[in-house]
Amino acid sequence: MRSVIRIGSRESRLAVKQAEIIRDQIISCDPGVSVEIITMKTTGDKILDKSLEKIGGKGLFVKELDRALMDGGIDIAVHSLKDMPMEENPDLPILAYGRREDPRDVILYRPGLEELPEQAVIGTSSRRRMIQMERLYPGCTFRGIRGNVQTRMRKLETEGYDATLLAAAGLKRLGMEHVISRYFSVDEMIPAAGQGILAVQGRKGEQYGWTDKIDIPQSRAAALAERQFIRVTGGDCTSPCAAHAQVIGNELKLMGLYYNEDTEEYSVDVIVADTSKAGQAGETLAERMMRESL
């Protein structure tokens, strides 16, 4: 066991806050350990004028942290699970899944607005959010927007957007619930796979004595089901496919959104399974929805 644990994190306020949540949990498990947070700017944080699908996908948010883990510059990395690529590096496994924060999506109106105008301009770069917003607000149009929470809020005031869409989890972790104009239920807008869950990533073969204490079984089951659904459907950062699992006791209810790129139509379906078969549930639901969309 190490006497000093170095946590790698992106530089944004939210990323650091998430690293601090895990830091405090580690110290609670082992008060004798010293924990440092080492921040770095990832490629995905540097390039804000292009959509993720044009610059290389979600891997751009983890590449530098992965390299630091492999090189021994940090001992673990903390990520928002929804920002991690679906294909995991077996040498850098996810050691623990943190307690899930509010998984819902939210909308933030431009200051001065109390409701969306009929032809609202929505700031989002997420196709998943776009196709679901089109059903909720048929007259709206979309313009790309990227950056951390503070950057997006500044753009909302100065660049002609009427509203922008964000994850509730990040705003709540930052203590910024007051800026939320409306929450969308998970039925209205199915969240991204892993939304609201923190992932703790480490190196294969290393001993981490505290991981079992901070790993939340409900979060792990939900993560396995959601991410397997996205893998099987071929989803990535350019795909609007989505999945959200609710876990009560040993029962997992997985809701999936499958988008057919050929027909440009999407469908929603649900499967219920035992948590011990979470990954299998994601695969079964994905295969069924893909088959039925033909």
Regarding whether 87 and 221 lie in a shared domain, the answer is no
What is the 8-class DSSP label of residue 170?
Answer: H
- pTM for the full predicted model: 0.90
pLDDT of residue 147: 80
Catalytically active residues are 83
One domain, residues 161 and 18: no
The percent of residues above 70 in pLDDT, for the chain, comes to 91
Helix (H) or strand (E) holding 163: strand 163-167
CATH number at residue 37: 3.40.190.10
Strand duo 76-80 + 4-10: pairing: parallel
Q: Is residue 61 part of a domain?
A: yes
| 69 and 122 fall within a common domain | no
pLDDT for the residue numbered 236: 63
| Domain total in the chain | 3
* 26-75: pLDDT as tens digits: 999 988 899 999 998 765 454 444 444 544 444 456 788 999 999 999 99
Q: What is the pLDDT of residues 103-150, one digit of tens each?
A: 999 999 999 999 999 999 999 989 999 999 999 999 999 999 978 888
> Rounded to the nearest 10 degrees, what angle do helices 149-158 and 13-29 cross at?
160
Nearest to 78 by CA among 174, 8, 23: 8
Tell me which residue range forms the domain holding 270: 216-294
User: What confidence category does residue 293 fall into, taking pLDDT thresholds of 50, 70 and 90?
Assistant: confident
For the stretch 113-122, pLDDT in tens is: 999 999 999 9
Is 247 among the domain residues? yes
